[in-house]
Structure 1
Amino acid sequence: MLTNLFSHFPEAAERGTQETFEELLSRPDVRIERIISTGQASPPDFWYSQPQGEWVLVMQGAAGLQIEHEEQERVLRAGDFVHLPAQLRHRVNWTSDKEPTIWLAVHYDLPQACDD
């Protein structure tokens, strides 16, 4: 069981060959994951647009986050976080290739409206 967010990297992350996603907690309305990036970026012309909201924190490293319709990318460094509402189109332009970029991502579903 993972007990320290800064250690016990998966083999692929240690080699820097691919971005890794590790689910730390999953419940019906929330999922928490650790993401380890080692120089990866979103593919050209690819935009994330997720049905869940996401709150993401860069714990180590750095990344360039592009939000659709924003001219400037947001440069995130250790300690920076951002809230991405559901369906907000965004992409990762770059992640640090000097050290792993470790993200903590909290994905959440909005409560369903009741039809009473």
Structure 2
Amino acid sequence: MREAFIAGGFGMYPTFIAGLALLLTSARYASRPESRYIPLMITLGLFTLFAGSLGFVTGIMNLMRAYAGPLADQGPSVLYLGFQEALHNVALALLLTTMSALAASVGAWRLAQQARAAAATVPVR
């Protein structure tokens, strides 16, 4: 895991920080579902995905610069390795948003259960 983080390059740091904030917010929502957490979860989820995508794009840009320069004589196998390393950013973003979506789903289920219980206690006139 550490090697994948290092191979992903600088873009892994903002992706990880945003994803960790998303995961913590989603876990908080799962334990105490309140609608005020929803906009923050959406924003952090988008930020995590965008940071992972930006890390991928900058990784590909660096790969192309290196392949046109000092790595020009290495052959296409360097391109495959570079694409694989750049994709670590996307993989981290998808992993963190998937785990967060699971936690948010638990919170949404609990919120629906609370609403159902509150509706059942309201007397009908």
TM-score, scaled relative to structure 1:
0.24
Rg comparison, structure with higher value: 2
TM-score, scaled relative to structure 2:
0.22
